[in-house]
Chains A and B, each alone.
Chain A
Amino acid sequence: MKKKLFKYWLLAPAFIFICGTTLYPLMRSFWISLHDWDLKESAEMGPFIGFDNYIRAFSDSQFWNSVWITIIFTASTVILTLTLSIIVALLLSKDKKYLSYLRVVLIIPFALSPALVGFSWRFMLNPDYGLFDKIIGFLIPPLADVVWLGSSTTAMIALVSVVVWIWLPFMSLMFISGLMGMPREVFEAAQMDGATRLQTLFHITLPMLKPIILIASILMTMFTLKAFDPIVTLTQGGPGDSTEVLNFFIYKTGFRFFDMGYSSALGYILALITIVFVIIYMRRLVKGDEWN
């Protein structure tokens, strides 16, 4: 009997720690989201208003704008990152010595702080003294006069590129490990049967990569929905509100407008969206066993 209790005692500190740092804030913020609490008015939480904050979100044009931008931002970032990282992985997954050095170098962008990356890119994209701006202008003269962060479309392109740049190495490494772990026999058999390289890629490599593609897309979607630092440092949601993703909108509502109730509700909506994605992916992932 004593032994049975003992293991719970050992678990208790971790349990209390998780309750204090995760469960309590989660529940508390949900409780706040059911209240009208404007920190500009008072430091005490306002009256209970049920789901009014959630209803308010659905009639708020700024909210819908940020949802739409989040969808564009997330979809393009995830698709681009995955496509590019598979290509990079295919190029780097050979068993050559010099490639293993390349793979180490590859991880460097990922090791940098995203906030720093955002600032650096803002600097490099500056039309007057930006390095990247000059390079683009040199290589593709018609694009020399583009102010990258100065219009809705180009700012979004810049933002997506930067986030892809950040995540590409990590995703590539995932695919490299997947590709290098594949049984060689299958490819040898395909070669014997006279399959071309493209046929091998589409009929063997990619289908066998599917479980990894799925995991990568779950992770990438979650990472992108959570992206915050590059947006703050690169565009501040601008020009206008053209790069104001949901995450940034929540931050603004909470910490600039101090509308705590509403921003908690928005936070929960974002969490729900994320959870829906995760559930869809997870279900496919569980079924994914059949593909192997």
Chain B
Amino acid sequence: MKKFKIVRMVAILGLMMTLLITGCSNSDAGGESTEGKTVKVLLSAGDVGQFNAWKARSKEFTERTGIKIKFIETPYENLLEEITADGIAMGGAYDLVAHLDTMGSSINQFLEPLDQYVERDNFNVDRWPEASVDRSTFDGKLYSLPVRAHAQMLFYRKDIFEQLGLEPPKTWADLEAASKKITDETDLYGIVPYYGAGHNGQNLFMWTSYLWSNGGKIFNEDLNPVFNSPKGLEATQRYIDLLVTDKVAPPGSVTFGEQDSRTYFKQGKAAMWIGWWWVYSEFNDSEASAPEVVGNVDFATVPGWEGKGSVPSITTFPLGMMKGSKNKEAAWEVLKWLSDPELELDIVMDTLKGESPSNQKSIVITQTENLRNKELNKLTDGFYNVAADNLENAKTLPKMKEWPRVSDIISSAISKIATGEPVEPTLNEAAEQVEKLLEESGYYD
């Protein structure tokens, strides 16, 4: 607490100083002027193509509007702490903050509702699929704009698949058969999942695509945990069997986080990977991936359960405006610019046409109009049409304040099962823990 107090003191002192200094010079321009203001945008670090493309294109925005943008990066693991600390202190260290959608329920108290800006400027929120906007809405108020959203995809090595005469898998059975063939006939493992505990529940991403495609659910309508239903058990067993029974996944995957497994794929040691689509650019970047991987990675829809279809998940990574921001008008201008359909399309078009520098490659499209863009779909064999369907119909993780804790319990159970613990008792125990937690938090009153 002491730290926050000090931060607050420093922030207040800083604010007083800036008021003293800038108060006079700005008085003639009026409070509305955004000219010359600097907007600080907090992003997650990791050489993200879309963010790099924003940075590169921000010069043009600054020339046009006079608003400078300072992009600040922090490791993903620290993002929530950074936002919370600045939020409590109302310090204004950041004007705009990028965050994972599931963080929204706990940080919306620090974010400025955007409804008044949207109304005033007639800003069209319907440019995004309803599901994405819903991830940014809490108690009926819009707290952020989903300028970055990910659909889950299956990535595979074209060269290996061609060599073995395989087709991209459409069902989990296809995936299992392909994995087995690849593991048996090449030096590569079929697929590299990530079962490790910790890492903010990353081992749930693939698990949910198994669970949901089998018709299972995490919660029922009354928020009772039902992931240990027969369907849930079956799905979990199948997810874990890649490692435990079929042995088509590397033994190390039991400890892998998403990043570890991505690295493994980039090193060319596995032929398939399931995860968020933004990494596509990384897989094909000669500085990030092994030579035999670059140019040989293709994507497909996440496989489905036989006869039940595929239910990929989506996640959004929206930008919100801090309540403590001192430059709200300028920050709103930046938000509007980053939501510009043309900017989004331009970045991806450049990537697909091979015109962007390797660190600016991005295939992230969030807006419906762009997803349905004819040229874009022509260039990608209809990939974005599929993605649009996914983004519109996909399931998302629950939007509840207790989610970090719930996800931690389930994630821990999955990790245990991957080490060889039996599926049913472990999931039952986790379900009991989740139920107890939600009961104590008053969800069933």
Residues of A within 8 A of B (CB): 20-21, 24-25, 28-29, 32, 38-43, 61-62, 126-128, 145, 147, 149-152, 235-242, 252, 255-258
Contact = CB atoms under 8 A, between A and B. Distances in A.
A239 B84 contact: no
B377 to A, nearest CB: 38
A235 to B, nearest CB: 8
Max chain A C-beta neighbours (<10 A), residue from B255, B415, B416, B420: B255
A61 B251 CA distance: 30
Interface residues of B, number: 36
A39 B415 contact: no
A151 B419 CA distance: 5
A148 B331 CA distance: 48
A152 B1 contact: no
17 contacts: A28-B1, A40-B105, A40-B401, A41-B401, A42-B109, A61-B433, A126-B252, A128-B250, A151-B419, A236-B197, A236-B199, A238-B198, A239-B418, A240-B419, A240-B421, A256-B408, A258-B84
Contacts of A258: 84, 106
A249 B418 CA distance: 22
B419 A24 contact: no
B404 A127 contact: no
B88 interface: yes
Chain B CB within 10 A, most for which of A145, A237, A241, A255: A241
A238 B252 CA distance: 14
Nearest to A252: B408
Given A239-B416, A256-B80, A256-B200, 16 more contacts: A24-B2, A28-B2, A39-B106, A40-B401, A42-B109, A43-B88, A43-B110, A61-B433, A127-B250, A235-B198, A236-B197, A237-B197, A237-B198, A239-B419, A240-B416, A240-B421
B196 A238 contact: yes
B141 interface: no
Contacts of B408: 252, 256-257
Given A43-B87, A147-B255, A239-B418, A255 B81 contact: yes
B196 A236 contact: yes
Nearest to B413: A240
Residue among B87, B105, B109, B419 with the most chain A CB within 10 A? B419
Given A236-B197, A255-B81, A256-B404, A150 B419 contact: yes
A150 to B, nearest CB: 4
Nearest to B6: A20
Contacts of A29: 1
A42 to B, nearest CB: 6
Contacts of A40: 105-106, 401
A257 B80 CA distance: 10
Contacts of B418: 150, 239
Which 5 pairs show the lowest CB-CB distances between chains A and B? A236-B198, A238-B197, A240-B416, A40-B106, A150-B254
User: Taking chain B's interface residues, is the majority helix, strand, or loop, or is none over half, making it mixed?
Assistant: helix
A42 B84 CA distance: 11
A-side interface mostly: loop
Interface in B97-119: 105-106, 109-110
B252 A239 contact: no
B441 to A, nearest CB: 9
A40 B399 CA distance: 13
B421 to A, nearest CB: 7
B255 A149 contact: yes
B411 to A, nearest CB: 9
By CB atoms of chain B within 10 A, which of A147, A236, A238 has the most? A238
Contact of A127 (B106, B197, B251): B251
A94 B250 CA distance: 49
Interface string B249-279: 0111011000000001000010000000000
A34 to B, nearest CB: 14
Given A61-B433, A239-B419, A256-B404, A25 B254 contact: no
B252 A240 contact: no
A43 to B, nearest CB: 5
A240 B84 CA distance: 27
Contacts of B433: 61-62
A252 B404 CA distance: 10
B369 to A, nearest CB: 35
Contacts of A255: 81
A25 B3 CA distance: 9
B108 to A, nearest CB: 10
A240 B87 CA distance: 32
Contact of B252 (A41, A128, A256): A128
A239 B197 contact: yes
A194 to B, nearest CB: 55
A180 to B, nearest CB: 43
A103 B443 CA distance: 60
B183 interface: no
B152 to A, nearest CB: 23
Nearest to B269: A128
A240 B197 contact: yes
